[in-house]
Chains A and B, each alone.
Chain A
Amino acid sequence: MKTKLTGLALATMMAIAPSAQAGEVEVLHWWTSGGEATSVAFLKKQLAESGVDWVDFAVAGGGGESAMTVLKSRAISGNSPTAAQIKGPSIQEWGELGFLSSIDDVAKANNWDEILPEVVSDVMKYQGEYVAAPVNVHRVNWLWANPEVFSKAGATIPTTWDDFMVQAQKLKDAGYIALAHGGQAWQDATVFEAVVLGVGGADYYNKAFVQADMDALNSATTKEVFETFGKLRQFVDINSPGRDWNLATSMVINGEAGMQIMGDWAKGEFKVAGKNAGTDYVCVAAPGTSGAYTFNVDSFAFFNQSDAESTAAQKVMAKEILSEDFQRVFNLNKGSIPARLGMARTEFDSCAHDSMDAFVASSASGSLVPSFAHGMAVSEAISGAIYDSATQFFNSDDSADQGVAQLVAAVAAAK
């Protein structure tokens, strides 16, 4: 028995040995659903071609909460994965704790400063050095509409919030659900974010919801935001609490509802249902935000490794993530746009083209802002406080004044 076991162990070691020489990367992520899994599989294949083995460390679960819990315990016990799907200000928090490793040499050799827009590369750097690589850019401030529903109700697709109320009322009168919405905190926050940007503009958005400036939060503009946000309550159907976002999207697809405010991952649902952009569904910027862009960038952050081989493999992975091939394939599957600029765009659909144009234009005009509803703008504590205030307000009869007071108190407490 004993000899058998030793033999088995030897065999296993021999099987592992060659791949260990080529290096391997262990990657923590939560991309487990259809299109996302395809995208990850492509990265795995590309790395294999460069001689790097991929050890999958997928922890499923909405928004990556469970993945983060696992990551924290692994990091504390000194057994960090090679890379993990972390984004936004969290990268800075991990950097401060001293867990992240610099991949600045890869970035320099591959000109990342040139090919990445500054707002994106800033997020990827800790103390001026790259510690993470972006895989995509999502636009969050989209309005998805079913043109057939609109024409039946004699309504037009709104471009301002004032117009939105008028058109939504027409849809409602015609017997449709005007706004398809899932009453979960993050979805409430996603709509809230669109209202903030549409009503307050990019400057106000930056001051109040990125820098968390108390004066900007406690202002007449915030009150106006809550007034508009409150008016939306009437256009949501009674069954919305707890509904998942993709069910809300399918309400638009089926023609039960007129529109939905959701990030561009909603496109995947339309695609799966066999709908075409422009004819079967329309994507326009959320009301009042046509020149602006709330971005949500997914990225992989790289952790300190104890041996040289893993570090080398890590660098290969970093390089591959920003390769044109990976960026193209990944984003075609995920519905987002590539993080690197100046790529061929023929394969992408019209919504993605709009997104790319708006990304460049808003970047030039200064109205490209990080999404607070998707963890890009403020710390988890503050975004949690904003979530609480937005969802509590939307699900009650509170007045705009009460909404402002709650928001200000919650953000102050979370600082």
Chain B
Amino acid sequence: MFDYLEKQLPKLIMAPTAIVMLVCMYGFIGWTAVLSFTKSRMLPQWEFVGWEQYERLFANPRWHVALDNLLVFTLLFIIIALLLGLMLAILLDRNIRNDGALRTIYLYPMAVSFIVTGTAWKWILNPGLGIEKMVRDLGFTDFEFRWLVDPDMAIYTIVIAAVWQSSGFVMAMFLAGLRGVDDSLIKAAQMDGASTFRTYWHVILPVMRPVFFGAVVILSHIAIKSFDLVQSLTGGGPGYSSDLPATFMYTHAFSRAQMGLGAASAMVMLAGVMAIIVPYLYSELRGKKS
């Protein structure tokens, strides 16, 4: 009896988590999928309309703005955060003094929530309060920096704030990766007379491939889910020019009584996340076996 229990104990302990996961994650994903094929408006209702909600979704100009913004935001955010994070990590890895203190400083934005980041950058980027006013007060009266209030540029202010928040975290990931690189590899490269640049480019970075991969996956799902940052920084504006799929979904499902349409947009977002995660998981799992 006792032996049996002991054997089953791990399963018993895992069971509640597994059930909660099944119901709260996959169950609700399934439910949202079903909702996206119904006519649901204010509350769920079970009148099925096929792909109509998806057709309406892709006929909506605001949705296309949101998708374009997502593309711009995701690409720029990932690339800039990666480059900046890598650069900081490499510089910190050069055995400089007080690197512990510097590391903390760069990591610190991570401790702040996106809401706080968004609000702070909203003030910093506001032409009448922030950078533009400061530079003008310094005497450069023609200086203009109005991305926040320019419908064509507003999405880039979200990139700025998101990069500021996340590049310290990317740096930490890379730093851990760099510290994990076998010293003998670097020594060997130096013995062969490779320059510092060549050592990094041809020896160290290839070893860090998994770290790159991990960073990209984490950053891309931060990008696709981003909601609070947009909400607090631009509120999706001016107009709806900086809307992202997540804010679109929230608006339509919860404040505009278009639950079916909101569910459809949520499913499209899920498809986007899957497109990134599934190949990653596949390569990870396959890699482990071989």
- Cα A72 to Cα B239 in complex, Å, equals 28
Partner of B42, one of A93, A238, A391: A93
Residues of A within 8 A of B254 (CB): 65, 68-69
**A193 in the interface (beta carbon within 8 A):** no
Distance A76 CA – B42 CA, assembled complex (angstroms): 11
Return chain B residues, CB-CB under 8 Å to A188.
239
Are A240 and B149 closer than 8 Å at their CB atoms? Answer: yes
For residues 234 through 281 of chain B, which have their beta carbon under 8 Å from a beta carbon of chain A? 234-235, 237-241, 251-252, 254-258
Residue in B56, B126, B255 whose Cβ sees the most chain A Cβ within 10 Å = B255
- Pairwise interchain contact A242-B43, C-beta atoms closer than 8 A: no
On chain B, the residues within 8 Å of A392 by CB distance are 61-62, 239-241
| A242-B235, A395-B237 known; A76-B255 Cβ under 8 A | no
| Cβ–Cβ contact B251 & A391, under 8 A | no
Does B64 sit at the interface, judged by CB under 8 A?
Answer: no
Instruction: Find out whether the CB atom of B60 lies under 8 angstroms from the CB atom of A413.
Output: yes
Say whether B257 contacts A241, CB under 8 Å: no
Q: Which among B126, B129, B256 has the greatest number of chain A C-beta atoms within 10 A?
A: B256
Cα distance A413–B261 in the bound complex, in angstroms: 11
> Using an 8 Å CB-CB cutoff, how does the interface string of B74-91 with A read, 1 for contact, 0 for none?
000000000000000000
Q: Is the CB of A183 within 8 A of B238?
A: yes
Question: Is residue B177 contacting chain A, with contact meaning CB distance below 8 A?
Answer: no
Q: Which residues of B contact A65 (CB under 8 A)?
A: 254-255
B241 A395 Cβ-Cβ under 8 A:
yes
For A188, the closest partner residue in chain B by CB is B239
Known: A238-B128, A413-B56. Is A93-B234 also a contact (CB below 8 A)? no
Select the stretch in A292-300, A335-343, A378-386 that faces chain B: A378-386
CB of A184 closer than 8 Å to a CB of B: yes
Question: Does A30 make an interface contact (CB < 8 A)?
Answer: no
Answer whether residue A111 sits at the interface, using C-beta atoms and an 8 A cutoff.
no
Q: Quick one: closest A residue to B122, CB to CB? A: A242
Across the interface, do B239 and A379 meet the contact criterion of CB distance under 8 Å? Answer: no
User: Is residue A5 within 8 Å, beta carbon to beta carbon, of the partner chain?
Assistant: no
Q: A381 and B240 in contact (CB under 8 A), knowing A239-B126, A242-B234? A: no
Given A68-B255, A413-B59, A242:B41 Cβ within 8 A? no
Q: Does A184 contact B239, Cβ atoms closer than 8 Å?
A: no
CA A3 – CA B255 in complex, angstroms?
Answer: 48
Specify the chain B residue showing the minimal Cβ separation from A409. B61
**Are the CB atoms of B151 and A396 closer together than 8 Å?**
yes
Q: For A66, give the chain B residue with the smallest CB separation.
A: B254
Q: Is A388 an interface residue (CB 8 A)?
A: yes
Residue A185, interface by CB 8 Å: yes
How distant is B100 from chain A, measured CB to nearest CB, in Å?
A: 39
Give the docked Cα–Cα distance between A392 and B43 (Å): 28
How distant is B234 from chain A, measured CB to nearest CB, in Å?
7
Determine the chain A residues whose CB is within 8 A of the CB of B258 once the complex forms: 380-381, 384, 414
Question: Smallest CB–CB gap between A232 and chain B, Å?
Answer: 14
Chain B positions 3-58 with a Cβ under 8 Å from a chain A Cβ = 41-44, 56
Residues of A within 8 A of B146 (CB): 238
Checking B59, B126, B154, B257 against A380 with a beta-carbon cut-off of 8 angstroms, the contacting residue is B257
Taking the closest CB of chain A, its distance from the CB of B217, in whole angstroms, is 31
A239-B126, A240-B149 known; A394+B239 contact, CB < 8 A: yes
- Chain B: interface size category: 20 to 34
Q: Which residue of B lies closest to A96 (CB)?
A: B42
* Bound CA–CA A72/B255 (angstroms): 11
Contacts A239-B128, A381-B258: A391 and B149 contacting too (C-beta < 8 A)?
no
Interface string of A109-125 (1 = CB under 8 A from B): 00000000000000000
Q: How far is the CA of A391 from the CA of B240 in the complex (A)?
A: 7
B128 partner residues in chain A, CB cutoff 8 A: 237-239
Closest to A380 in B: B257
| B240 CB contacts on chain A under 8 angstroms | 185, 388, 391-392
* Cα-based distance from A183 to B41 in the complex (angstroms): 28
Known interface pairs A388-B62, A406-B61; A185-B255 also in contact (CB < 8 Å)? no
Report how far A78 CA is from B235 CA in the complex, Å.
34
Taking a contact as CB atoms under 8 Å apart, the answer to whether A381 and B41 are in contact is yes
- When A185-B237, A381-B257, A395-B237 are in contact, do A241 and B43 touch as well, CB less than 8 Å? no
Contact mask for chain B residues 59-74; partner A; CB cutoff 8 A; 1 contact, 0 none? 1111000000000000
B148, CB-defined interface residue at 8 Å: yes
A366 to B99, CA, bound (A): 74
Residues of chain A within 8 A (CB-CB) of B252 are 384
Q: Which of B56, B60, B238, B256 contacts A241 (CB 8 A)?
A: B238
Are the C-beta atoms of A97 and B237 separated by less than 8 Å?
no
* In the complex, chain B residues whose CB is within 8 Å of the CB of A183: 149, 237-238
Residues of B within 8 A of A409 (CB): 61
Interface positions of B from 148 to 164, Cβ below 8 Å from A:
148-149, 151, 154
* Minimum CB–CB distance for A175 against chain B, Å: 15
Shortest beta-carbon distance, B64 to chain A, in Å?
12
Query: From residue A61, how far is it (CB to closest CB) to chain B in Å?
Result: 10
In the assembled complex, the CB of B127 is this many whole angstroms from the nearest CB of chain A, namely 6
Tell whether, in the assembled complex, residue A380 and residue B239 are in contact, meaning their CB atoms are under 8 Å apart.
Answer: no
A242 to B150, CA, bound (A): 12
Bound complex: CA of A204 vs CA of B255, how far in Å?
27
Nearest CB in chain A to that of B41: its residue: A381
Is B239 within 8 A of A239, CB to CB? Answer: no
A379 to B251, CA, bound (A): 14
Closest Cβ–Cβ distance, residue A86 to chain B (whole Å): 11
CB of B256 within 8 A of CB of A380, answer: yes
The 10 closest A-B pairs by CB, nearest first: A395-B239, A395-B238, A384-B256, A239-B128, A380-B257, A241-B238, A392-B239, A65-B255, A241-B149, A391-B239
A-B contact pairs, 10 of them (CB 8 A): A65-B255, A68-B255, A97-B43, A188-B239, A239-B127, A242-B238, A384-B255, A391-B239, A396-B241, A413-B59
Contact surface of B with A, Cβ cutoff 8 Å: 41-44, 56, 59-62, 122, 126-129, 146, 148-149, 151, 154, 234-235, 237-241, 251-252, 254-258
Chain A residues near B (Cβ < 8 Å) = 63, 65, 68-69, 72, 75-76, 90, 93-94, 97, 183-185, 188, 237-242, 379-381, 384, 388, 391-396, 406, 409-410, 413-414
Apart from the given pairs A242-B122, A414-B258, 12 other A-B contacts in the complex at a CB distance below 8 Å: A65-B254, A68-B255, A93-B257, A97-B43, A188-B239, A239-B127, A241-B148, A381-B258, A393-B239, A395-B151, A396-B241, A413-B56
